[in-house]
Amino acid sequence: MANTRWLFWIAVAAFLWLMVSHLTEIETATLPLIRGQPEWILLAAVLQVLYYTVFAAIFKSAFYTVDIKSRILDILPVTLGALFINVVAPTWGMAGAALYVDDASHRGESPARAAAGTLLAQTADFKRLCSHPGWQHSLPLHAKIGSKTMRSPERPFWL
């Protein structure tokens, strides 16, 4: 434990150096919060909490489908960690899935069932994303039968 304490202090020093070296950018980023209307900021915070809670509920219902007992309040911290690690680690969302499986195994549940539930939840989330009407019209690929090209010629490749 004492051997790793120096690593903690290096991380603290690096964080402080980062904060001091980017102080003007931090001030610029906080200006909308300072000048903003408090009711809109509160509404945005409530909607963000609601989003994370619904996202955790998706995993709870997927785990219920594969007979894993869980509560939304137990899954919520894992959900926040999974969303964070999916942004930080370039694993196409699979690092977050590993957190759900690890959490379920620590609670005494089957890791295989947890992996199946995680896959089910991610499939439901991706299905919801792809079935959104606004998203369907911006997809660059089309599925016309007999089409020789994979990209629609009237849309740029980045849409």
- Low-confidence residues of the chain: pLDDT under 50: 138-159
The full length of the chain comes to 159
Domain assignment present for residue 143? The answer is no
Domain assignment present for residue 158? The answer is no
103, 124 Cβ separation under 8 angstroms: no
Six token digits for residue 54: 């619904």
pTM comes to 0.62
**pLDDT, position 26:** 80
**pLDDT, position 53:** 92
The total domain count for the chain is 1
**pLDDT, position 50:** 93
Domain assignment present for residue 17? The answer is no
**pLDDT, position 156:** 42
| Domain around 54 | 35-136
By C-alpha distance, which of 76, 81, 71 is closest to 52?
76
Domain assignment present for residue 29? The answer is no
Non-local (6+) Cβ contacts of 122 within 8 A are 93, 97
**133 to each of 8, 24, 130, how far by Cα in Å?**
48, 40, 8
How confident is the model over 9-20, as pLDDT tens digits? 888 888 888 888
Non-local (6+) Cβ contacts of 29 within 8 A are none
Domain assignment present for residue 125? The answer is yes
Domain assignment present for residue 52? The answer is yes
**Single-letter code of the amino acid located at 9:** W
**pLDDT, position 155:** 44
* Helix, strand, or coil (residue 151): strand
How confident is the model over 46-69, as pLDDT tens digits? 999 999 999 899 899 999 999 888
